[in-house]
Amino acid sequence: MPHRMRQNLLLPATPTATQHDPRTHLRHLPPAYSLAQTPYSRDKDFAPQLRYQLELPRKPKLRPCKVIFVGDCAVGKTAIVNRFCYDKFQSNYKATIGVDFELENFSILGHNFGLEMWDTAGQERFKCIAGAYYRNASVIVATYDMAKRESLEAAKKWLSSALNYNTTQKPLIFLVGTKADLLTKEEFVRMERLAGVAAAELQAEYWSVSARSGYKINEFFQRLAALAFETAMQQQLKLLKSTAEEQTTQTPEKSQKFDLRSYFTSRSSKQKSGCAC
Ligand SMILES: Nc1nc2c(ncn2[C@@H]2O[C@H](COP(=O)(O)OP(=O)(O)OP(=O)(O)O)[C@@H](O)[C@H]2O)c(=O)[nH]1
């Protein structure tokens, strides 16, 4: 059953439970926003090999995956998280203090998978503490306001800072343009073109969204969760396979030493010493 938890550094957690939610139950790999703007899977579904492995009795358990949202203040980081988790939108701006935390549970190919969403503050004064939350992030979402061109440049800097602190070998990277509802069609097309170039440079997958209208919010989070699941599951399966291989290569050597060499040496020395037992 999906379970959500919102928490601020200064506020206690308020756990809530929700009924079966089709947005968090995934049986197929959701498509990218644009096939031209993703360095990740362009397939229409999870790899058949992964599906097959997940049918086997020995299934790996996955720990919740850490996602961090970075970007300038007021670009709409909190708004996209709130739209997805609570289907709510607030027009009045309330700056994030330090960092907010959400735990969203998904069911992917029948497996439970948790996403820890860390919504960091964009205000300069919190930058020093936000760094501490960047560690071990498996996914980084660099966010910019589509109606503020300068926030795209800033998003690149936020991403580079997050990558400096991050210890995960190769996190998934998304570049997300928010507030798509504020632009005319021409402005939207122009901004997407600029952002597409930036996304390619950053080797990030690109999305344009609007928390106000809900445009592409579910699609974005579903894609993020599915890619994070696929990556984490493949890593776990690889680990299981190499452990199993190590065990099979070690076992025959050990048994040979025990069964043959040590057995016959002890027999012959006993016979020499005249012991009959
Ligand atoms: N029109 C419109 N306004 C939005 C949208 N998303 C966010 N906003 C508004 O932009 C302002 C800032 O949004 P937040 O989500 O608080 O921004 P933030 O990036 O979390 O800001 P910090 O906490 O300071 O880092 C708020 O007034 C929101 O209502 C959107 O999709 N469309």
| Domain boundaries, given as residue ranges, for the chain | 64-236
Report the separation in Å between the CA atom of 213 and the middle of ligand 1, taken as the mean of its atom positions: 13
Q: Which superfamily, per CATH, for 64-236?
A: P-loop containing nucleotide triphosphate hydrolases (3.40.50.300)
Per-residue pLDDT of the chain (277 residues; tens, 9 = 90+): 344 555 555 444 444 444 568 899 999 999 999 999 999 999 989 988 888 888 877 778 899 999 999 999 999 999 999 999 999 999 999 999 989 999 999 999 989 999 999 999 998 888 877 778 888 999 999 999 999 999 999 999 999 999 998 777 789 999 999 999 999 999 999 999 999 999 999 999 999 999 999 999 999 999 999 999 999 998 888 887 777 777 777 655 554 554 545 545 555 555 555 444 3
Q: What is the 3-state secondary structure (H, E, C) of 139-203?
A: EEEEEEECCCCHHHHHHHHHHHHHHHHCCCCCCEEEEEEECHHHCCHHHHHHHHHHHHHHHHHHC
Give the residue from 262, 228, 240 showing the smallest Cα distance to 65: 228
How far apart are alpha carbons 170 and 160 in whole angstroms? 13
Q: What is the pTM of this model?
A: 0.84
Residue nearest to atom 12 of ligand 1 (CA): 74
Report the separation in Å between the CA atom of 77 and the middle of ligand 1, taken as the mean of its atom positions: 7
Q: Is the CB of 263 within 6 Å of ligand 1?
A: no
How far apart are alpha carbons 196 and 36 in whole angstroms? 9
Give the residue from 222, 239, 247, 223 showing the smallest Cα distance to 60: 239
Atom of ligand 1 nearest to the CA of 211: 31
- The reply to whether ipTM tops 0.90 is yes
Residue nearest to atom 32 of ligand 1 (CA): 179
Report the separation in Å between the CA atom of 76 and the middle of ligand 1, taken as the mean of its atom positions: 3
Atom of ligand 1 nearest to the CA of 91: 29
Atom of ligand 1 nearest to the CA of 213: 31
Report the separation in Å between the CA atom of 75 and the middle of ligand 1, taken as the mean of its atom positions: 5
